[in-house]
Structure 1
Amino acid sequence: MKPRNTIFLFLCIALAACGGVTPIPVTNTPTSNVATQTITPSPTHAPTVGPFHWETPTPETLAGYPTALMPVETDPFAKNVPVKLQEMSVQQLYIGKYILRNWCKDDEAIKSYCAITISSLGEEQVEVWGFPVLLAAETGTDLTGRGYPNIVTVSGNGNAGAEIRVFEAGNTLREIMDVWSRDFVHFENLNDDQSYEFIANVKIWSQFSYCQAGGIPLVYEYDSEFGYINKTSKYKEVLSPNIQWGIDNLASYKLENPNTEVPLCRVYHLVTAYLVTGQKEQAWNILDENYSPEKAAEYKAGFLSDLGSLVP
């Protein structure tokens, strides 16, 4: 195995480990010994334990697959720097009727700026960019219970965390999730149904104060019509540790400083956790109990502005 193969596989394993991914059923790997074999997309009827990655024959040698096109960057950044096809196991990956390729800028200074292309006959090629962009270990698994494998990409972007995108590789390619998370990939079956929930880890920076709420989990649930949507209020127990930490932190401050107004940053995490789980009454009680009516009203408006659509 080439050194870069080993590095890529290590990165994929590390991504899964960071997210604490629950083992998920995966598709069997189609293989071919002849150039004329035709592979057609099919539901994953017989999953096996996984997830894992495949090393398979180059898809272009199989009938029914296109040749991947070199990605065209639309972002002005390094637009004129050419890309180079990477020689790693992801090159050999194909999911259903789709072939996946990994390309990176052919420049030592920005070689981590890469793209993954998803190609199929009769469909426009999809290109996913990142610093870098990788396939998560869940690629090839059926995350939704619909019987088709999913393609999961992870696009790095420095301190902003990673953009996690999920595509359903059925008869047509359908994007079903586009979520940012400070952790990488964390899918977990929280309600024992056929689909896996995605747990994002976000940091909320306040726009009306100097406060922040770090390590806030948001739960996204699969919906057959809309794809993955925020359903954190349905899974309040996921944020129970955050809420308890906030309660203890507030009580500790008030015990040590009985005659001092509680700094807003002492309650910011707690109020945020209450709001994203749909517990607005509890959130407003914290503000009403610790601040004047004028300040409480100001802070309530500020929280709603900070969190926006995250508040159900």
Structure 2
Amino acid sequence: MISNYWLGILLYLILAVLMADAICFLLFLITKRRLKCRTAAAGGICAVVVLGLSAWGAYNARIIQVTPYEITVNKDGGRLENLNVVLAADLHLGYNIGTAHMMQMVDKINEQNADIVVFAGDIFDNEYEALDDPEELIAVLQKIQSKYGVYACYGNHDVEEKILAGFTFGGNKKKESSIQMDEFLERAGIHLLQDEAVLIDDSFYLYGRPDAQRPGRGINMRKTAAELMGELDTEKPVIVIDHEPKELQELADAGVDIDLCGHTHDGQMFPANLITALMWENSYGYLKKDHMHTIVTSGVGLFGPNMRVGTIAEICPITVHFQYRNNI
């Protein structure tokens, strides 16, 4: 935990020093003379700015906000006219995130009157042994209220490997979740979907994809978008939970209606969110890809630095309206 805090502070220390040197260099170019070095003053200002920013980031990371969405799927919802989905992702249970944070999350979820709750991967932070109190965490997660239940897919961190300050170790062998992780979810009342679908209330499908890079135990290569849709009745609405917001065009072409993701953390710490926006077609928020709605959440928890600067921790209640195609 100490190394996680230090990593965040160190990143901003490096950024502050680079900015201070850049300002001095620009002043030299403008004035054409070297300014007297004010090392103590400059260092003091940098220290105050970095510590203030880090303290705010650590505090902000502990506040879970609610970001609502409302979308319309042009399909018959069967018995349903509307569906209230609550999306959460990236809990990263471990050194950074523990029981207190989960209690806050569960309270926020239960305020939304959810029909179904979905976790889009990275429930754990690599080491099951890092959980502060597994029994208490299970008891907290069991309190999630949802008409149709709670479902999840695994992400790239839902595997057992050593981790230090955001860096993982363990060689090149296939990474898999531990049996303890699987049992934890089962006891917590969270249904893990591993490259499989469930038909809910004979009205819509929920499909959970394994992670693209680390598909997990018993899966060498996950099904393609076309393969997973080939098993379903495409007249019914199809909701996919997929940890990484990848293959958006493939999923849209295959006929998926809603794709719910996490993974990016929206960069977690400024200016990383500017970088993630360049890396992903949809790095955060809502994007409509042809007929498909895709929503990427910044997540509930943290990875690496124990801070959030310029981003938020959140859950996302999504109101889904269904309508017949011939009524468009």
TM-score normalized with structure 1 length: 0.25
TM-score normalized with structure 2 length: 0.24
Tell me which of the two structures has the higher relative contact order, counting C-alpha pairs closer than 8 angstroms and 6 or more residues apart.
2
Name the larger-Rg structure.
Answer: 1
